[in-house]
């Protein structure tokens, strides 16, 4: 029962990662062709003025910012999934043992000591997983970090309203 969600999570996140890689490669190709066109245009002379056409410097910066944001979000996704898989791996061991012992015994009896240890590790790992999610967001996402800091009382931020501690 645990294996199917594990495999689904790995496969779907791998597909998301590959789609992002393809999109980055496509953007790089477009950027390279735009740069080649720009260098040919500069050699031929100034381009004619366009009414609302072409990318301005601000548009290019916005596209760069959105690309960086997309990469950051994909890194957050990958980190959260990796942390989730590692923390849930203890549960896979316990469930696997339960299934194996159910089919190979008469169904009665207590768990061995090592399974009790793994169960306790599983509980700690679940709590760690929940705590690590916010740590990943704070470390990887500047907007989230700034929003969290803004929510803190002024005395915890170093005394000024706009000061960023991290």
The string of pLDDT tens digits covering residues 140-159 is 888 888 888 888 887 777 65
Higher pLDDT residue, 65 or 136? Answer: 136
- Give the span between the Cα atoms of 38 and 85, in whole angstroms: 46
Higher pLDDT residue, 39 or 16? Answer: 16
pLDDT(39) > 80: no
Q: Contact at 8 Å (CB) between 48 and 102? A: no
Cα 86 to Cα 1, 51, 79, 83, distances in angstroms: 17, 54, 11, 5
- Give the span between the Cα atoms of 73 and 41, in whole angstroms: 36
Higher pLDDT residue, 135 or 65? Answer: 135
- Give the span between the Cα atoms of 115 and 99, in whole angstroms: 13
- Split at pLDDT 50, 70, 90, the class of 120 is very high
Q: Please measure the distance between the N-terminal and C-terminal CA atoms of the chain and give it in whole angstroms.
A: 42
Q: What is the rounded radius of gyration, in angstroms, for the C-alpha atoms of the chain?
A: 26
Q: Contact at 8 Å (CB) between 26 and 115? A: no
Predicted pLDDT at 104: 67
Angle between helices 142-151 and 113-140 (to 10 degrees): 90
- Split at pLDDT 50, 70, 90, the class of 165 is very low
- Chain centroid to CA 125: how far? 19
């Amino acid at each position: 029962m645990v294996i199917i969600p594990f495999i689904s999570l790995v496969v779907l996140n791998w597909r998301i990662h590959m789609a992002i890689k393809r999109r980055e490669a496509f953007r790089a190709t477009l950027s390279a062709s735009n740069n080649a066109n720009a260098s040919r245009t500069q050699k031929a002379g100034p381009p004619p003025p366009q009414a609302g056409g072409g990318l301005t410097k601000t548009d290019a910066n916005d596209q760069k910012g959105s690309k960086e944001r997309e990469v950051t979000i994909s890194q957050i996704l990958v980190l959260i999934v990796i942390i989730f898989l590692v923390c849930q791996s203890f549960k896979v061991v316990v469930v696997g043992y339960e299934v194996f012992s159910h089919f190979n015994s008469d169904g009665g009896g207590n768990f061995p000591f090592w399974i009790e240890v793994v169960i306790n590790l599983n509980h700690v790992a679940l709590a760690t997983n929940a705590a690590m999610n916010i740590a990943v967001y704070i470390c990887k996402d500047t907007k989230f970090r700034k929003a969290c800091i803004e929510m803190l009382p002024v005395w915890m931020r170093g005394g000024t309203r706009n000061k960023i501690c991290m």
